[in-house]
Structure 1
Amino acid sequence: MTTPTRLFGRGSWPETRRIAEVLRKETVGGALLLGAAAIALVWANSPWAESYEALRDTRVGPAPLHLDLALGTWAADGLLAIFFFVAGLELKREFVAGDLREPRRAALPVAAAIGGMAVPALFFVLLNLGRDDGALRGWAIPSATDIAFALAVLAVISTHLPSALRTFLLTLAVVDDLLAIVVIAIFYTEDLSVAPLLLALVPLALFGLLVQKRVRSWLLLLPLAAGTWVLVHESGVHATVAGVLLAFTVPVVRSAAAGGPDAGPGLAEHFEHRLRPLSAGVAVPVFAFFSAGVAVGGLSGLGASVTDSVAVGIAVGLVAGKAIGISASTWLVSRFTRAQLDEALGWPDVLGLALLGGIGFTVSLLITELAYGAGSETYEHAKVGILTGTLAAALLASVVLRLRNRRYRRLYEEEQVDRDADGVPDVYQRPSAEG
């Protein structure tokens, strides 16, 4: 009789150790993101709000290339391309060389990400069906999960979230981000210019050829990456898509000619190690600074924003939609694939994780700008909805995970004991329940 797969079962020790390192960097980035967003909110609602708007709208860049963009646009189109490049590297590595290369392990985060995007979008649409002012263009806003923000919440509540759940949260958020990019490319591209998009394939192919041959020189790679970005931007497709396309060309393991997988990791790990601090520590916080400055206009303005159906749809989607979508998808996987929840965990753990998935910020703000246009009244209301929903999801997740903190600490301590001379906890060297 085949032993059923364990949902959120303990993965391999190398992958657990790598994920722990990634999460430490993302947690620091999350703290910077929170600080940048707080500064923007205070500044945008202070007597000096005009100076914030002037800084955000300052245009820089070469006009002949149509790149004389506002600083806020540079943050959304340029810096977030770095963020999505790192996300693309992470996703490719997980599915090529990580624990998720096994279809039975990959099925859960993929299904949860899809459910966690579909249900919030459904809630938003249902709450805005009667409007004819273009409000429904924001259906994808509550679909995104902000991994940096979510990990910052985990750091604040000091939880000992089990490594398998932390890995799942990271993978869920990465898959979520990549699905969001697909949504942006398909549904938020209005004026498509085919010629620049086809021309972008030239520097993209050259970039891919060089990285496949393990060329690391930024003097060669950076101009090709920039050329790809410029041409994608010129085509009308959101320029962050270029970051994902470039990431997918980078090899995760060495080719047979270079000694094969046993000869060491491919360039993906090298680039990820170099660029993740830039992404988490600079790109995302700067984007948050230029995007989170919502002028609420006092209590009356805040009241008008939070009661607008767009803001309500976003907040309900982030809190209830994400919790239901992720939890229900996980239950469906367990129901129809013979997979069982790991014996050390309970469904309240899944609920806490699903609530964390409702912390949407970076990509939600990006989609808001694409859906409604910066400066419009609906745009401002949507940003209030994002902040409200994110805050509510963070508070609810904190309550649930604090209630489970004693259980998490016991699991964490179990993983740290019985460490042999090889430095690997014995719990990772025992036969797994999956056989």
Structure 2
Amino acid sequence: MPTPVRLFARGTYAEAVRIADLLRQETVGGVLLIAGAVIALVWANSPWAPAYTGLRDTVVGPSALHLDLSLGTWAADGLLAIFFFVAGLELKREFVAGDLRDPRKAVLPVAAAVGGMAVPAVIFVLVNLHSPDALVGWAIPTATDIAFALAVLAVISTHLPTALRTFLLTLAIVDDLLAITIIAVFYTVSLSFVPLLLALVPLGLFGLLVQRRVRSWWLLLPLAVTTWALVHASGVHATVAAVLLAFTVPVLRSEAAGGPDAGPGLAEHFEHRIRPLSAGVAVPVFAFFSAGVTIGGLSGLTASLTDTVALGIVAGLVLGKPLGVAGATWLVSRFTRAQLDDDLRWPDVVGLSLLAGIGFTVSLLIGELAFGAGSVRGEHVTVGVLTGTLIAALLAAAVLGPRNRYYRRIAQLEARDDDGDGIPDVYQQGSR
């Protein structure tokens, strides 16, 4: 009989170290994201609100290239391209060289990501069945914001097992890929084939150079920017170009450079260099320009939340996300040989699923594409996303908080290194 797969089982020590370092950076980025959103909300609801609006709507860029965009649009189309480039690198790294190259381990986060997108979309559609003009926003509550979720997790101060944290990260990465696919397929209003075909030239050259392990920024950056500009001109959302560029980057070292065992490949090198820019600048600046909605006091908040768009978003994030993620996890365990790891309980999975309901960056981006930045419905989207995210965070804290003390004791045991080899005993065969 084959050994059953353990859901959320501990991965390799090398992968755990890499994920821990990555999570620390994402957590810091999440704190900056929250700070940017709070500053925008306070400013947009202060007597100086016109200054905020004027800054967000300031147009810069060359009109001859159709890149005369507002600062808010530059943040959504330009800065988020950096975010999606890093997400593309993460995804390729996980499935080529990470623990998820094993299909048995990959099936859970992929299934959970699909469930976590399908159920919120269905709930949004059901809430808005009698508002056909609102159905265009069906994808808004489908995205998980990993930086925001990890920042909330840090505030909860839970000693959640690394396997669960890795699962949350991987789920969000797959979620990002599905989200960018949805943006490309469903939110491309008009398509110009000439720029799109021309984009294949710099994209191909970029791929050729990185496959030859070229790292020179003065060669790669102009090709990446050209690819982005041509995809933007084609009508496809420009962040799609970032994911395509990331997928061309090799994960493993070439045989001439020592092969896979010779150290990190080019994808990890780029990720290490660009992640601080993504988490520390790109996403917080986008949050600053996207979260600045004028609420108009309690009456304005009530008016926003009575819109079926906002209600559908809140219901999708708070109910749909946990139902989709936890439900997909249960289905995998029910209809396959996979079993929940002995150290975990289903309340842990439920708490994690509630964290997946924290949506911000991509949700706001899809909201802008669906209803337009600065529109009344667009402002209701922002209120719905912020409200749903806040409720999901509070519910996750209520579920995971009581588990904190238990996992603190577990963490103390896992840190033991009785043989003094620098690797915790729990990662070594026969130590459990």
Q: Give TM class, smaller chain.
A: over 0.9
Please tell me whether the aligned partners of residues 425 and 431 of structure 2 are also in contact (alpha carbons under 8 angstroms): no
- In the other structure, the counterpart of 2:409 is 410
Higher mean Cα deviation, 307-316 or 411-420? 411-420
Mapped to 2, the partners of 1:402 and 1:420 lie a distance apart of 33
Change in Cα spacing, 1:239 to 1:431, as seen in structure 2 (3 Å) is: farther
Q: Match of 1:404, SS?
A: helix
State the shift of 1:382 in Å.
1.2
- In the other structure, the counterpart of 1:360 is 359
1:403 corresponds to which letter in structure 2?
P
Please tell me whether the aligned partners of residues 351 and 396 of structure 2 are also in contact (alpha carbons under 8 angstroms): yes
- In the other structure, the counterpart of 1:3 is 3
- In the other structure, the counterpart of 2:58 is 58
- In the other structure, the counterpart of 1:82 is 82
- In the other structure, the counterpart of 2:369 is 370
Mapped to 1, the partners of 2:62 and 2:422 lie a distance apart of 54
- In the other structure, the counterpart of 2:47 is 47
Mapped to 1, the partners of 2:113 and 2:360 lie a distance apart of 16
State the shift of 1:88 in Å.
0.4
2:45 corresponds to which letter in structure 1?
N
Q: Structure 1 residue 128 and structure 2 residue 117: aligned?
A: no
1:225 corresponds to which letter in structure 2?
A
State the shift of 1:412 in Å.
1.4
Identity of aligned residues (%): 76
Q: Structure 1 residue 302 and structure 2 residue 297: aligned?
A: no
- In the other structure, the counterpart of 1:330 is 329
- In the other structure, the counterpart of 1:216 is 215
- In the other structure, the counterpart of 1:143 is 142
1:111 corresponds to which letter in structure 2?
A
Trace 1:10-409 onto structure 2 (pairs within 5 A).
Answer: 10-132=10-132, 134-409=133-408
State the shift of 1:153 in Å.
0.4
Change in Cα spacing, 1:47 to 1:419, as seen in structure 2 (3 Å) is: farther
State the shift of 1:287 in Å.
0.1
1:124 corresponds to which letter in structure 2?
F
2:293 corresponds to which letter in structure 1?
V
Mapped to 2, the partners of 1:297 and 1:258 lie a distance apart of 60
Mapped to 2, the partners of 1:412 and 1:202 lie a distance apart of 51
Mapped to 2, the partners of 1:341 and 1:405 lie a distance apart of 19
State the shift of 1:419 in Å.
5.0
- Residues 187-238 of structure 1, C-alpha deviations (whole Å, 9 max, x = no match): 0001100110111010011001111111111000000000000000000000
Q: Match of 1:293, SS?
A: coil
Q: Match of 1:417, SS?
A: coil
Q: Match of 1:145, SS?
A: coil
Change in Cα spacing, 1:232 to 1:431, as seen in structure 2 (3 Å) is: farther
- Residues 286-316 of structure 1, C-alpha deviations (whole Å, 9 max, x = no match): 0000000011112111111011111000001
Higher mean Cα deviation, 399-408 or 259-268? 259-268
Mapped to 2, the partners of 1:144 and 1:67 lie a distance apart of 27
Q: Match of 2:253, SS?
A: coil
State the shift of 1:260 in Å.
1.8
Higher mean Cα deviation, 375-384 or 70-79? 375-384
State the shift of 1:409 in Å.
1.1
Q: Match of 2:223, SS?
A: helix
Mapped to 1, the partners of 2:170 and 2:81 lie a distance apart of 19
In structure 2, runs of 5+ residues without a counterpart are none
Higher mean Cα deviation, 374-383 or 225-234? 374-383
Mapped to 2, the partners of 1:85 and 1:232 lie a distance apart of 14
Mapped to 1, the partners of 2:109 and 2:407 lie a distance apart of 21
RMSD: 1.1
Mapped to 2, the partners of 1:431 and 1:42 lie a distance apart of 55
- Residues 41-100 of structure 1, C-alpha deviations (whole Å, 9 max, x = no match): 000001110000000000111110001100000000000000000000001000000000
Mapped to 2, the partners of 1:217 and 1:240 lie a distance apart of 22
Mapped to 2, the partners of 1:340 and 1:407 lie a distance apart of 21
1:201 corresponds to which letter in structure 2?
L
Change in Cα spacing, 1:37 to 1:112, as seen in structure 2 (3 Å) is: same
State the shift of 1:408 in Å.
1.6
2:3 corresponds to which letter in structure 1?
T
State the shift of 1:410 in Å.
2.1
Mapped to 2, the partners of 1:119 and 1:51 lie a distance apart of 39
Superposition TM-score, scaled by structure 1 size:
0.98
Please tell me whether the aligned partners of residues 83 and 282 of structure 2 are also in contact (alpha carbons under 8 angstroms): yes
Q: Match of 1:344, SS?
A: coil
State the shift of 1:432 in Å.
9.1
Change in Cα spacing, 1:181 to 1:432, as seen in structure 2 (3 Å) is: farther
2:234 corresponds to which letter in structure 1?
S
Q: Match of 1:52, SS?
A: helix
